[in-house]
A and B are shown apart, each in its own frame.
Chain A
């Protein structure tokens, strides 16, 4: 692994240190919290919906640069997308991050979150990168607001 690309570069550091849409949302239509006890990350993702379309996404909480950058990129990437498209983006991102293949085929449609690709070389940080997305998936698929996702230590 001597030659792996640095994790902290460009967009990831930029979004990690100066995250977009990092603010509370009064009365969100749906929200969910995700916790990663391995590193103390705790993110709350909030969404304002217009019918089936995400009108606005914000997040709060604390986390490492990877988790914050991922949440920040998420809030920008899903704005204006339908629920189904946002969830599909999550699936594609996860499949890409978990894939061993370097072939670009699996990364179609990930332009908006391409900075997260660096995490592929850092398997122990995968959870950090997917935390916000898991919270989003829970928020968008749950009817009950304020759902909390807990994870056992060692699950990622």
Chain B
């Protein structure tokens, strides 16, 4: 069946696909940067012993993980204006992706931190280290390594999740592919072109992750 693909039409829509590819790349990069910031803050709060600090992080993480991204997206897009907050759809898209992935990233980093044996914390305490010294010198360098692979996984999920932004009229990769379907009535050509572009993005991410972990030989177990 793939041999019957109308490659002429796929090539004709290459500029649209390229634009969509760039938009998806941009939205995902901004979304992931925001998610990392949110994730680190939420994780930092969620491991605090004081309940008052922990509570907001736990509520955020649970609320996001318990609801579908589509619902969060529609809430931000159609719900916020009712509260008097009107934001452009690109910004809403980035906020939704950041909020959503941030919760998962918080859990990923937290699991890394919790994987450090209690004895090491006790040893650093008895060496007279402050909380920040303990985190910076002992825990985080070891905790980071096992989180790299799940973080890359989360970045890949985020790239694919960004396709939902087409539903709030953001023109990105999925919408560009749907163009072929509605302009030329060739849904398969549109889907294949989109899938190939996502595949390129995926390998790009994998390549970057490989380069990054090779350049920054992080201490700790491999």
User: Does A pair with B?
Assistant: no
